[in-house]
Amino acid sequence: MEASVQQKAYLNTAGCGIISAASLQAGADIYNAFSVNSSTRSEIWRDKEDPLYRKTLSQFLEVEEDRLAFIPNFSYAMNIVVQSLKGDEQVLLYKYDYPSITAPFIQNGFNVHFLESEQGFALSLETIEQAFIANKIDIIAIGHVQWQSGFKIELGPLSALCKKYKVRVIVDATQSLGAIPIPMQQLGIDVVIASNYKWMNSGFGNGIIYFDPSFLADYPPVITGAASLDFAGTARSYEPGD
């Protein structure tokens, strides 16, 4: 058993997960190698390790590899997705959702409509459907598991409802990825974004973003870089690179 958990029970992964000793050692080995021969080590990362990690992660999440991209954190990815929208969409948000979900839409002047929780806790599909109809919603952005209450919305019924009304759905899975299976490709969810420092136990500075191909076709990235140009039409077009 690793030293970090030998003498204690850690119960706050919902706040921040524990990085394994093996992961810490792997990271240290990489940076130690960069202090000796950074050029050679960077080529090993680019040609061997990076493709392996992408393949492993796509298998773990049960999605096609070209639908998945690496990101530094949820807030960065949410903002680059919002920047890629047209700007005139009617957007539905949960009033008490994590601010990194709601703030980019508000800051960029979108037409925003807010859902209120029921009994201070739950969100019903009936309430969401009523909002879809009343406000002619184009996009809903919502946390899979709420950061304050722990309420979990069922993504299957939500995705089906969105398809019925032709509403795009963006899901924040930071509070659930790694703890709850999310069949994002099977359900046809448009976008799933997550920082990996909670149940993925990966520390800060990394995360994932998943795209349905139809969303990518309608909303190509507007923030690009050298890395983006090599992967047009795939999720990696949202990775600008260094």
- Residues in Cβ contact with 205 at an 8 Å cutoff, skipping those fewer than 6 apart: 72, 73
Q: Give pLDDT, residue 4.
A: 53
Give the whole-angstrom CA distance, residue 213 versus residue 166.
15
Mean pLDDT calculated for residue range 43-49: 92
Q: Is the pLDDT of residue 227 over 50?
A: yes
Residue 28 has pLDDT above 50, yes or no: yes
What is the per-residue pLDDT across 121-137, written as a single tens digit (0 to 9) for each?
889 999 999 999 999 99
pLDDT at 5 (0 to 100): 55
Q: Can you give the three-state secondary structure of 82-131, one letter per residue? A: HHHCCCCCEEEEECCCCHHHHHHHHHCCCEEEEECCECCCECCHHHHHHH
User: By percentage, how much of the chain surpasses pLDDT 70?
Assistant: 98
What whole-number distance in Å separates Cα of residue 58 and Cα of residue 185?
11
Query: What pLDDT is recorded for position 229?
Result: 85
Position 142 pLDDT exceeds 50: yes
| Cβ neighbourhood burial of 119 (10 Å; 0-12, 13-18, 19+) | exposed
DSSP bridge partners of 191: 170, 211
Q: What is the mean pLDDT of the chain?
A: 93
pTM over 0.85: yes
Q: Which of 77, 10, 31, 62 is nearest to 239 (CA)?
A: 77
Cβ neighbour number for residue 171 with a 10 Å cutoff:
27
Q: What is the predicted pLDDT for the residue at 2?
A: 55
Give the pLDDT band (50/70/90) at residue 1.
very low
State which amino acid sits at residue 82.
V
Rg over CA atoms, the chain: 19
